[in-house]
A and B are shown apart, each in its own frame.
Chain A
Amino acid sequence: MKFLSAVILTALLAFATGLYGVMPWWSFAITSLIVAMAVHQKAGKAFLSGFTGLFLLWSILAFLKDSANDHLLATKVAKILPLGGSYIVLIFVTGIIGGLVAGLAALTGSYLRQRSN
């Protein structure tokens, strides 16, 4: 239960920081850290819930943009980066990058909470 609510909270707050494109892209690292402090879990689980929250958020958002776009831009970007021109790999990489940042931030949050206890 804790895990699930941490995942959902992480994703929701990250989504909110991304609205209107005004705040820096990494703002979700701060909200993910706060979630991990608020919803206390062990280090491993905290990392995993942060990772999952952002992995899901970013890959689903990317997936939606990509499907509506008939994979046009993602295919081009996946050749530039280079990821062999695969939009699927690009969506996956997008999810992992968001997930890693959020996971590490959540890990930090979990340690912080343990320290302040």
Chain B
Amino acid sequence: MRIVPMLVSAISTAGLIITLNTQLPVGGSKTPRLGYFLSPQKGFWQNAESANASHAGEITLSGIKSKVEVFMDERLVPHIYAENDADAYYAQGYLHAKYRLWQMEFQTHVAAGRLSEIVGPDRIDTDKYFRRMGMVYAAEKTMREASKNKDIKTAMEAYANGVNDYIKSLKPNEIPFEYKLLDYQPEEWTPFKTYLFLMFMSYDLTGRGISSDLQMTNAKNYFGYEDFDQLFTNVQDSLDPIIPKGTIYPSPAVPVTAPADVDSVYLGKTNTFNSATAPVVPDKNNGSNNWAVAGSKTKSGRPILANDPHLGLNLPSLWYEVQITTPTHSTYGASFPGSPAVIIGFNDNIAWGVTNAGRDVIDFYDMKFKDSTLEQYWYNGLWNKADIKEEVIKVKGQPDIIDRVAYTALGPVMYDASYKNDNTTGKYLAVRWTAHDGGQGLQTFYELNRAKNFDDYLNAIHKWTCPGQNFAFISKTGDVAMKQQGAFVARWKRQGDFIMPGDDTRYMWQGIIPNEENPMQKNPDRGFISSANQKSTDDTYPYYLGAAADFPLYRGIIINKRLSTMSNITPEDMQRLQTDNYNVFAEMARPALLKYLNEAALDADGKKYISILKNWNLRNDIGEKGATVFRAIWDSLETTIWKDEFEKSKRSLPWPDEPVLLEVMLRDSVYYFADNANTPDKTETLYDAVLTAVQKASAKCKALEKENQLEWGTFKDTRVSHLLKIDPLSRLHLPIGGGVHIINATTKVHGPSWRMIVHMTDEIEAYGVYPGGQSGNPGSKYYDNFVDNWAAGKYYRILFLTKEAAAKSSQIKWRITFNN
């Protein structure tokens, strides 16, 4: 009888296939389906792009009206030549999908709270977080409003058609690598997804208030308002605002008045709320530099603009370079995979760049509900009916979860009985955000792509609402301008820094500041404009800008200092400035530290590291040990000063920002918080604190030196991470200097995500680089081929070509033709 061995072998075969066809749990994650993943004809091997692969093609598609020609240059940047705008956006969508499909879809899944659908139950909290803050609601509202403009609607639809035609052309073995790794399939793209993506950017650039308002409330309640106001002071002695001090502002069109009982009810009130920790918090360093110099300061007599947005450094990159040329316009710059048009760039007549305004546009309101059904809330003196939105969260391998969110006149109730932590029981916190009010979405960039002069620029940016940005501008006619633009809340002092009462209409927003009153500067005498996320104005501006902690101080100081002394400027000078590693914070802090340091009390190690600190050239270049010693001492000083007081609170408290401590040290030597709260019989001073800090830091430096990690570049250890945080798909240990407070703002995981310099000569001279590559495929040599040059501070000369020139250029490698 051979039936037994036959059965055994048949069952083994089936068992092996089933095992290899299942995602197996390993550690915290899951393997791909190994049989599928390793199959050379279906799995990941198909994504191993040949080093000499052609990127040319002849594609016939029904979605376009006329022929579109695309010239791919040697860096894989497409130069799109179309006979009408819709066809150009169609091609842009197709190319974004061809090179970045997985990333486009993944980012919009994050924004829509749909991660659990791909990766499983671990991300349910993250999904709830994004849904409950109203991301989907806001994207829907913006889409409804923006679609009223026919041009925008057409652009979005053409773009989506391009993406979808690419998805339809994909054979199952051709889907991007990450789909195979995580085992799911691409779905249809819609214009709505573009709005979701734009909401994600709004969140990334304004969403810090979601956690900081709660933490600030904790800190105020813990320390009491008076101490709080010292620790988290809004006074910045060394501020050099975007619009120079001394500018005269007209009286406000929206007169804001604080409620009469604000001191007792709002600032003094101790409520028992304790914040939940957000699963995803936008990086505090999300900021940027932009500046422009007028012809009076340049060698050529023409203006130059520079911009480097600082964001999380990821692969595939957030940015994708593109040239779009149609009969209506010709533009080049960095685009978002997921959205039509160019976001930061230039055209034949103008160039523009953006930095984050950092203004507070998110507030929390403490709501009163009649009962736990969340159907009625107390507002304006009566019970109001809430809209209940049911969020259906799909979870991979598990049944759906239904999450009920109540929407009030003050926004969605983000925290309630079903989404809380141990200490939020009984609280209903509604989140009010300007992004919930809709807006015109992409219209600003659509118009900037086509703008010809200052008036066009102003008209374009006046349609921008959220996230608020500092728009830098230059034109061929020689204009230079900067305007902070967005829908900014007209606030009274400290309004919205803490949770506000939700049943008292006097605490509501009293208006949005009219565009005309947003800070602006055009063709200033000093010959330059700049912004680096600092406060836009001094205190004479008639509205409250938000807590000082939202505005980094030091990059603005050093940029303005440098620009004011420069003349005969060339684009190369601007490159050097953009990649400058000079540490102006240390320039101010080092003498303050040394002033309080009793060197005689140090041991040999301590003396050695202080000598390194003293001899340091104040540059955070990769080889500088002094930069690491300074950082170690400063961090250790902050720990010495704050930790004792702050850790006594059981609640999550933010530490004061670096300028707070430095400005105290520069001002006087008596500081209450220098006293160690854990030594009741002794009163420590700043002198004691600095000595303790240096002693602790020198022990740390010694340990670092042993590991060969005292040099700044090794210590900082910059990386560009894959969006899934998978190390082998990331670039690690990059040799690049810079850091916080430095113009080259590259920290460990964050920094200049796109560097661009545009010189408005007759034929535009432009340079750009970003830490990534045009292809999102980890199996392509174009995946990360810009990273090394980016780290080295090098730029690519941008090709901005007419169609005739492109046809002849030796730097054009491939041609893609779309036929209708």
Q: Do A25 and B2 touch across chains, with their CB atoms under 8 A apart? A: no
In the complex, residue of chain B having the shortest beta-carbon distance to the beta carbon of A107: B9
Give min CB distance, A62 to chain B, whole Å. Answer: 5
| CB <8 Å contact, B781 and A70 | yes
Given known A70-B781, A100-B16, A114-B2, contact A18–B45 (CB-CB < 8 A): no
B41's closest neighbor in chain A, by CB?
A18
Query: How far apart are B15's CB and chain A's nearest CB, in angstroms?
Result: 9
How far apart are B72's CB and chain A's nearest CB, in angstroms?
A: 19
A window 55-74: CB within 8 A of B: 57-58, 61-62, 65-66, 68-70, 72-74
By beta carbon, the residue of chain B nearest A17 is: B41
Whether a CB of chain A sits under 8 angstroms from the CB of B253 is: no
Nearest chain B residue, comparing its CB with the CB of A93: B38
Complex Cα–Cα for A74 and B46 (A): 11
**A104 B40 Cβ-Cβ under 8 A:** no
> Given contacts A58-B40, A73-B779, A111-B6, is CB(A21)–CB(B51) below 8 Å?
no
The answer to the question of B265 belonging to the interface, with a C-beta cut-off of 8 Å to chain A, is no
Q: Tell me, yes or no, whether B517 is within 8 Å of chain A by CB.
A: no
Stretch touching chain A among B326-334, B386-394, B565-573, B726-734: B726-734
* Residues of chain B lying within 8 A (CB to CB) of residue A66: 45, 48
Nearest-CB residue, chain B, relative to A70: B51
Residues of B within 8 A of A85 (CB): 728
Q: B residues within 8 A CB of A68?
A: 48, 50-52
**Residue of A57, A72, A77, A100 touching B781 (CB-CB under 8 A):** A72
Given known A21-B42, A73-B778, A108-B9, contact A26–B172 (CB-CB < 8 A) = no
Within 8 A of B (CB), among A20-70: 20-22, 25-26, 29, 33, 43, 57-58, 61-62, 65-66, 68-70
- B39 sits at the interface (CB 8 A): yes
Distance from A104 Cβ to chain B, minimum over Cβ atoms (Å): 4
User: Which residues of A have CB within 8 Å of B181?
Assistant: 80
Q: Which of B33-55 contact A (CB under 8 A)?
A: 34-36, 38-52
A107 to B12, CA, bound (A): 10
Given contact pairs A68-B50, A104-B12, A105-B13, A61 touches B6 in the complex (Cβ within 8 A): no
Known: A21-B171, A29-B13, A69-B49. A76 touches B728 (CB 8 A): yes
Q: Are A26 and B38 in contact (CB under 8 A)?
A: no
Rounded to whole Å, the gap between the CB of B281 and the closest CB of chain A is 27
Distance to closest chain A CB from B169 (angstroms): 13
State whether B35 touches A97 (Cβ < 8 A).
yes
Query: A25, A69, A70 — which one has the most chain B CB atoms within 10 A of its CB?
Result: A25
A21 to chain B, nearest CB (A): 3
- In the assembled complex, B459 has its CB within 8 A of some CB on chain A: no
A85–B171 Cα gap in the complex (Å)? 29
Q: Are A108 and B6 in contact (CB under 8 A)?
A: yes
A21-B174, A76-B729 known; A61 vs B45 contact (CB < 8 Å): yes
B601 interface contact, C-beta 8 A = no
- For A69, list chain B residues within 8 Å (CB): 48-51, 779
A79 interface residue per 8 A CB criterion: yes
**Residue B10 interfacial (CB < 8 Å):** yes
Q: Does B21 contact A (CB under 8 A)?
A: yes
Does B685 reach chain A (CB closer than 8 Å)?
no
A29 and B42 within 8 A (CB): no
Q: Is B173 on the interface with A (CB-CB < 8 A)?
A: yes
A103 to B655, CA, bound (A): 63
- Shortest beta-carbon distance, B74 to chain A, in Å? 18
Which listed residue, A73, A105, A111, touches B44 by the CB 8 Å rule? Answer: A73
Which of B17, B41, B48, B778 is A101 in contact with, Cβ under 8 Å? Answer: B17
Q: Quick check: A94 and B41 within 8 Å, CB to CB?
A: no
Instruction: Enumerate chain B residues within 8 angstroms of A80, measured Cβ to Cβ.
Output: 181, 726, 728-729
- Interface status of A1 (Cβ within 8 A of chain B): no
Q: Given A19-B41, A62-B45, A104-B12, are A72 and B6 also a contact pair (CB < 8 Å)? A: no
How far, in whole Å, are A5 and B45 apart by their CA atoms in the complex? 27
Residue of B nearest to A33 (CB): B13
The yes or no answer to A4 lying at the interface (CB within 8 A) is no
A26-B35, A76-B728, A79-B727 given; A111·B45 CB < 8 A: no
A112 interface hit (Cβ, 8 Å)? yes
| Nearest residue, chain A, Cβ from B10 | A108
| Contact A25/B43 with A97-B34, A104-B16 known, Cβ cut-off 8 Å | yes
| A20:B45 contact, CB within 8 angstroms | no
Nearest-CB distance from B10 to chain A (Å)?
A: 5
Tell me the chain B residues, 157-203 only, with Cβ under 8 Å from chain A: 171-174, 177, 181
Tell yes or no: B5 within 8 A of A by CB.
Answer: yes
Shortest Cβ distance from A115 into B: residue: B2
In the complex, are the beta carbons of B35 and A65 less than 8 A apart? Answer: no
Q: Which of A69, A77, A105 has the most CB of B within 10 A?
A: A77
**In the assembled complex, B791 has its CB within 8 A of some CB on chain A:** no
Shortest Cβ distance from residue A71 to the other chain B in the assembled complex, whole angstroms = 9
Q: Mark A74-109, 1 if CB is under 8 A from B, else 0.
A: 111101110001000000011001101100110110
- Can you show 20 pairs from A to B with CB atoms below 8 A apart? A21-B42, A21-B171, A22-B171, A29-B13, A57-B40, A61-B41, A61-B45, A65-B45, A69-B49, A73-B45, A73-B48, A74-B48, A75-B728, A80-B726, A80-B728, A94-B38, A101-B13, A104-B12, A115-B2, A115-B3
Q: A19-B41, A72-B779, A97-B38 are in contact. List 13 more A-B contacts (CB 8 A).
A: A21-B46, A22-B172, A65-B48, A66-B48, A68-B52, A69-B49, A73-B778, A79-B727, A104-B13, A108-B6, A108-B10, A108-B13, A114-B2
Q: In the A-B complex, list the 10 residue pairs whose CB atoms are closest, starting with the nearest.
A: A21-B173, A18-B41, A73-B779, A111-B6, A79-B728, A61-B40, A69-B48, A68-B50, A104-B13, A25-B39
